[in-house]
Structure 1
């Protein structure tokens, strides 16, 4: 079993200020980005970078990037990556336009989950999340999700209902954050030990077939490696029919549910 110190180092590394970010990757992937700002009702979500652009070789893409911020000021501005209703509604605008114009959708995720403030609940947070989950699942264009750090609860699932899912090898994807899991267990496990209780790590999720590719977070030129991985996963999806893309997404999650009872390796 890992020591508490080792576990703390794992979480500290995952949440480090110099962590690779969605804006970094978007800038390298799409040199010219036409950004969509706001949902035309509630305003903007600073944590979300969303819009359309073309790669250097002319491939048109839609991007949805969620970033937690790198210092105290930016993390306060971006609400620690917890998206409000405006963020989900803005993302839905982008997804709908992507489908209309035949643009693949790339999601870049690092967020604790959705904003759970009374204001977000009052404006229909759960409905906004459900709308995006449904739209992503029914996309007639390919979509690829990349977990750069953490992504928890339905707030992250809304961006990860995708044909292909990639994760950095130390990233996490789960129904709840490690802190929430520990709280549910009433302190019977430490926050970081909660990571080992559920299949939320990249290797575990790849073993169960939910994650298609794992990228080492220690790779040199990590931004380039992530972009290469996205292009590699996207290429075989481009000629696939709309009906098959939709069916593949459903099958991916059905397989994961079927594999859920799989015992963790000792």
Structure 2
């Protein structure tokens, strides 16, 4: 496996639950979609930032060992997870709470069960709801974020990535498979604009954080808090327009580069 992918998928990589504990020490968790149950890969709830307002947080992670990765489906969120996230986001808008998402996931669960219960619809609902939110929303890619499964959390005002993180329509392995072996997964990373630097250059990503920062956790807490506070006075109409402009601008420059 490519060294970059090994680093991204390492068991000791910083994960969403760790950041959430530091960011929102008083988190009140919300679990379940009131239909299918809970998704272990999702950490969701409400709480006050250490230095800032009350927020909603959504964290998706792969797990840190064999048992937790099995329980969390390797971070591939199920339909219950997306519906739970949507429920939290709706409450956030109702009460005026900014939304923060922290992501490291291969994509959405593609099992027959998730498809049977409306996985595509659940993802589409979260994308649409996020785009029209009248409160600020921010996503941080801590590792990988692929397919519509990750895009569901990325229709936001600000996208922050660790410098070695990936965000794309498909995983490197999937891209290599689509190209029928013409490119290896490692080559696929450089073939498409999926790295933090490539996406920053194309104005989709707003900020890149060095994963080798000596106190990475503290840096992430500071960066997220400053970003949320910086958006706090932005009118709802401007927040909605920002999201649309971000993706339209990306689509305009991608074919030219």
Instruction: Normalising by structure 1, report the TM-score.
Output: 0.95
Q: Identify the match of residue 210 of structure 2 among 201, 210, 216.
A: 216
List gaps (5 residues or longer) in structure 1: 1-6
- Residues 39 and 257 of structure 1, relative CA distance in 2, 3 Å threshold: same
Structure 1 residue runs of 4+, over 6 Å off? none
Partner deviation per Cα, 1:82-139 (whole Å, 9 max, x = no partner): 0000000000000000000000000000000000000000000000000000011010
- Whole-Å separation in 2 of the counterparts to 1:212 and 1:144: 10
Q: Is the 8 A contact 2:54 2:98 kept in 1?
A: yes
Q: Identify the match of residue 121 of structure 2 among 123, 127, 136.
A: 127
Greater displacement, 101-110 / 227-236:
227-236
Partner of 2:58: 64
Tell whether 2:244 aligns with 1:250: yes
Q: Identify the match of residue 178 of structure 2 among 184, 188, 191.
A: 184
Partner of 1:140: 134
Tell whether 2:20 aligns with 1:26: yes
Q: Identify the match of residue 81 of structure 2 among 87, 91, 94.
A: 87
Aligned-residue Cα RMSD (Å) equals: 0.9
Partner deviation per Cα, 1:11-69 (whole Å, 9 max, x = no partner): 10111000000000000011111100000000000000000001233520100000101
Partner of 1:236: 230
List gaps (5 residues or longer) in structure 2: none
Partner deviation per Cα, 1:199-235 (whole Å, 9 max, x = no partner): 0000000000000000000001111111111122222
- Whole-Å separation in 2 of the counterparts to 1:91 and 1:28: 20
Q: Is the 8 A contact 2:196 2:205 kept in 1?
A: yes
Partner of 1:98: 92
